[in-house]
Amino acid sequence: MSPHFGLVKRTTRELMLHFNNSLFGGRFQSVLGIMSKGVNLRELSNRLKLSQTTVSRALNGYPEVSAETRKRVAEMAEELGYAPNSQARRLATGRSMAIGHVIPRSIHEMMNPIFLEFIAGAGETYSKHGYDMIISVVEDDHEEDAYRQIATRKKADGVIVHGPAADEHRHKLLKEINLPFVVHGRIPGAESETTWVDMNNRRAFERATNLLLDLGHKRIALLNGLEHMDFARRRRKGFEDALAERGLAADTAIMRSSDMTEPYGCDNAMEMLKSDSPPTAFLVSSMISAIGVARAIGQCGLETGKDVSIITHDDALSFLPNSGEVPIFTCTRSSVRYAGQRAAELLLDIVASPQREPSSLHLDAELIIGQSTGPVPGR
Amino acid sequence: MSPHFGLVKRTTRELMLHFNNSLFGGRFQSVLGIMSKGVNLRELSNRLKLSQTTVSRALNGYPEVSAETRKRVAEMAEELGYAPNSQARRLATGRSMAIGHVIPRSIHEMMNPIFLEFIAGAGETYSKHGYDMIISVVEDDHEEDAYRQIATRKKADGVIVHGPAADEHRHKLLKEINLPFVVHGRIPGAESETTWVDMNNRRAFERATNLLLDLGHKRIALLNGLEHMDFARRRRKGFEDALAERGLAADTAIMRSSDMTEPYGCDNAMEMLKSDSPPTAFLVSSMISAIGVARAIGQCGLETGKDVSIITHDDALSFLPNSGEVPIFTCTRSSVRYAGQRAAELLLDIVASPQREPSSLHLDAELIIGQSTGPVPGR
DNA sequence: TCCGGCATCCAAACCGCTTTGGATTTAACT
DNA sequence: AGTTAAATCCAAAGCGGTTTGGATGCCGGA
């Protein structure tokens, strides 16, 4: 309005500065909080007597802006507490800046603690890169629908596939709807065409079994996870391979497959220990079940690590630490949280450059000696 | 273009139907999948020779649309696989249709399994109501920032406050930035001005203590959660109240407060049991730690439920079932998953009508007799 | 002096949906 | 028959950003 734009501008700005600092900086911080909610790009650019274009570019680091202007913009943005509305930005850029995790209700019952630990790891990566993590808990028969919704409604730029089954199919759907994904675990038969992060389940259980065999154990029980899951199949394979190599056959009478709860471990161990030919060692797929096994051993008046040995897989869950100089359980350990971090990184890579070739990360589990193993008694 | 719009339209539509069914319905499903991704409202309305307004209204159930038109729209939408872009809808409506959960890294270590179970419950409610759940894992010193971002960038319509501390402050921030929230637990001193869902921690532990006292136990150990958390304080209060009522004083020598891990239970129980005046009963804040206590008891050559009693709080975690006719542990039980469902419902209510008065839900824990309690030995 | 090139900045289009404020047609009522 | 009200539908204006395609001013080189 006035021809002296430059002057007026500076004056106004200084006034505003003063205004904010004195009036709002002090006891009315809450008022500022409420006000700052309303500051959008238009308002900010008006205040600066700049176009939205320039302000946007200044804030997003584009080169077409002078250093001085950029500084001014940054300061004013800070002052007014401006932050871009994510929905608007998402709409404009076409990227939702979010990664989805679909959890069917039934599956997450079983994956419970391991899943959370993975999520925690992935979440760290996401927030480091400015991504949101959205989790959908859906009824089992809505799983496919959930993925489709994510794609068509553009809710997320990619998803993590949890707990691949032995006869997995989700990867086909995801390719069909063109939704980037990373698998936690492996999809049998699709290893080379999908990006995944997994630990070496077969090898880990093979090594664990060998250790028990070396200790003289011949009758080894396997308390596995649900064997319609890929990871459980691989573990079983490792177990059987190790036995076979020494000319031993696995005895299905002392092999179980189920959700890895504590009572599962206890009940089955109890039953086996009371049988005619009880196992002298247990190979268990989860710390939680292993705790149950230990309880059963105790209830039978036996001692873990002396009368009966246990090796368990340890996902390094934070609420079930199995560390210290000599951990409670001898275990094959692999941090599932770390897997989450890495899987998230791979996924963000794919989202950033979708043409990228599938890659994979094979984590090795450590075999760590704890208190729960010893030579077979009476050897 | 042609004056025979009606006719042309129908013909075209039938052609499309035919086209889709024969060509895409079969082996080219994936192509349809990719195509359907691109169908937006404009395209859909063009196809229908209707305005976007009408189509939008038809799909969203507004009354200004004839039944016939609505049907036509619905069919075509289904056929083309149309689903509204959530970012666009969010921008237009101003509601993000998402609920946020902020988890500082340090805290979620300790809340781990309980947190997940709560999340699972809340997630069910969200998806039932078309809301997304977004989880932010943040460094501890970025927590406040995370909440501010959610508000100013409009990432979520509300948040759940997890694990309120004894000296909680988040509710002030959230009121300041005008972000609706529901507390899981209670904020001391702000009970009436916040909406919350909590169980009756004090009462539950009082009842549990009374049961032990009735069984003749006089020396009762308390393995509590971290007592800078509100829930743990209340539990301690219940414990102390019950003792006081019988003229007994709590002995801090057998009281502990920490993250509720398994070794925490085992190590502390072990130490106490080996002391000069060991407790005859343990009151424990978590199943996980209780398992540790049971392990310690076993290692001391004692029997749980006979030589030493345990009562634990049981959050009804799905991977740690403590059910059956006679559960392993005598416990105070309250389903944290249910709490999650209800908290989510309350939050969605608030989001829908923000002027609503604060309300609260006080869940009662059941006291359930299991195998881990018995009369004090030698009574 | 004239021109091309660079550094800055801007107006306007666009992302895909909702919603306001009519316009048009049809049915209903004096 | 004339007027109203109801039923339908639409054009256009947002929502709050990003991005395209210039405009403007200033400089050195010919």
Question: What percent of chain B is modeled with pLDDT above 70?
Answer: 88
Whose CA is nearest the C1' atom of nucleotide D7? Answer: B64
| Angstrom distance (rounded) from CA B47 to CA B43 | 6
Q: Is B65 helix (H, G, I), strand (E, B) or coil?
A: coil
B22: pLDDT strictly greater than 90: no
- Span A326-331, mean pLDDT? 94
CATH 3.40.50.2300 assigned to domain B201-334? The reply is yes
Tokens 């009574």 sit on residue: B379
Contacts of B30 (CB under 8 A, 6+ apart): A175, A176
Positions in chain C where some atom is under 7 Å from a protein CB: 7-22
Positions in chain D where some atom is under 7 Å from a protein CB: 7-22
Confidence at residue A324, expressed as pLDDT on a 0 to 100 scale: 81
| Mutate: best of B137, B331, B341, partner A, most A CBs <10 A | B137
pLDDT category of residue B110 using cuts at 50, 70 and 90: low
Fold of A201-335: Rossmann fold (3.40.50)
**Minimal C-alpha gap between A225 and chain B (Å):** 13
Contact at CB, B151 and A37, closer than 8 angstroms: yes
> CA A56, C1' C4: Å apart?
29
A194: pLDDT strictly greater than 80: yes
Residues of chain B with Cβ-Cβ distance to A138 below 8 Å are: 127
- Nearest by CB: B123 against A96, A132, A135: A135
Q: Do residues B316 and B335 touch, judged by C-beta distance below 8 A?
A: yes
Whose CA is nearest the C1' atom of nucleotide C14? Answer: A92
Confidence at residue A90, expressed as pLDDT on a 0 to 100 scale: 95
Specify the range with the lowest mean pLDDT, choosing from A304-308, B23-27, B239-243.
Answer: B23-27
| Angstrom distance (rounded) from CA A151 to CA A197 | 22
Query: pLDDT tens digits for A200-250?
Result: 999 999 999 999 999 999 999 999 999 999 999 999 999 999 999 999 999
Fold of B96-199+337-363: Rossmann fold (3.40.50)
Closest-approach nucleotide to residue A92, Cα vs C1'? C15
Query: pLDDT tens digits for B189-218?
Result: 999 999 999 999 999 999 999 999 999 999
- Span A92-117, mean pLDDT? 84
> CA A5, C1' D29: Å apart?
35
B23: pLDDT strictly greater than 60: no
- For B77-118, the DSSP string reads HHHHT----HHHHHHHHS---EEEEEEEHHHHHHHHHHHHHH
| Angstrom distance (rounded) from CA B200 to CA B216 | 25
Q: Is B137 helix (H, G, I), strand (E, B) or coil?
A: strand
A339: pLDDT strictly greater than 60: yes
Nearest-by-CA chain A residue for B28: A176
Query: pLDDT tens digits for A130-177?
Result: 999 999 999 989 999 999 999 999 999 999 999 999 999 999 999 999
Average confidence score pLDDT of chain B: 88
Number of neighbouring beta carbons within 10 Å of residue A49? 13
Query: Beta partners for B331?
Result: B312, B368
Architecture of domain A97-199+337-363: 3-Layer(aba) Sandwich (3.40)
Q: What is B5-84's CATH number?
A: 1.10.260.40
Confidence at residue A218, expressed as pLDDT on a 0 to 100 scale: 96
Confidence at residue B168, expressed as pLDDT on a 0 to 100 scale: 96
Q: Please tell me whether any atom of strand D lies within 7 Å of the Cβ of B285.
A: no
Q: Please tell me whether any atom of strand C lies within 7 Å of the Cβ of B66.
A: no
Number of neighbouring beta carbons within 10 Å of residue A232? 23
pLDDT category of residue A307 using cuts at 50, 70 and 90: very high
Confidence at residue A110, expressed as pLDDT on a 0 to 100 scale: 55
Specify the range with the lowest mean pLDDT, choosing from A98-112, A257-271, A288-302, B344-358.
Answer: A98-112
- Nearest by CB: B133 against A135, A176, A263: A135
B239: pLDDT strictly greater than 60: yes
Confidence at residue B3, expressed as pLDDT on a 0 to 100 scale: 30
Of A14-18, A70-74, B243-247, give the range with the top mean pLDDT: B243-247
pLDDT category of residue B323 using cuts at 50, 70 and 90: confident
| Mutate: best of B135, B140, B329, partner A, most A CBs <10 A | B135
Confidence at residue A113, expressed as pLDDT on a 0 to 100 scale: 85
Confidence at residue A288, expressed as pLDDT on a 0 to 100 scale: 92
Q: Do residues A352 and A327 touch, judged by C-beta distance below 8 A?
A: no
Residue A305 burial (10 A CB sphere; 0-12, 13-18, 19+)? middle
Closest-approach nucleotide to residue B152, Cα vs C1'? D16
Phi, psi of A99 (to 5 degrees): -120, 135
Q: Which of residues 47-106 of B touch strand D (CB under 7 A)?
A: 49-54, 64-67, 69, 88, 91-92, 94
Specify the range with the lowest mean pLDDT, choosing from A28-37, A90-99, B21-30.
Answer: B21-30
Tell me the CB-side half-sphere exposure of residue B33, using CA atoms within 13 A: 20
Query: pLDDT tens digits for B269-313?
Result: 999 999 999 999 999 999 999 999 998 998 898 999 999 999 999
Contacts of B265 (CB under 8 A, 6+ apart): B223, B284, B286, B288, B289, B290, B291, B292, B293, B295, B296
Contact at CB, B319 and A134, closer than 8 angstroms: no
Q: Do residues B209 and B221 touch, judged by C-beta distance below 8 A?
A: no
Query: Beta partners for B304?
Result: B308
Of A258-262, B116-120, B219-223, give the range with the top mean pLDDT: B219-223
Contact at CB, B113 and A177, closer than 8 angstroms: no
Question: What percent of chain B is modeled with pLDDT above 90?
Answer: 77
Confidence at residue A39, expressed as pLDDT on a 0 to 100 scale: 87
- Nearest by CB: A261 against B155, B298, B320: B320
| Angstrom distance (rounded) from CA B178 to CA B190 | 16
pLDDT category of residue A334 using cuts at 50, 70 and 90: very high
Residues of chain B with Cβ-Cβ distance to A109 below 8 Å are: 318-319
Q: Residue B297 carries which side chain, given as an amino acid letter?
A: I
Contact at CB, A137 and B117, closer than 8 angstroms: no
Q: Please tell me whether any atom of strand D lies within 7 Å of the Cβ of B8.
A: no
Domain boundaries, chain B: 5-84, 96-199+337-363, 201-334
Contact at CB, B83 and A34, closer than 8 angstroms: no
| Angstrom distance (rounded) from CA B362 to CA B200 | 6
> CA A59, C1' C7: Å apart?
18
Same fold, A97-199+337-363 and A201-335: yes
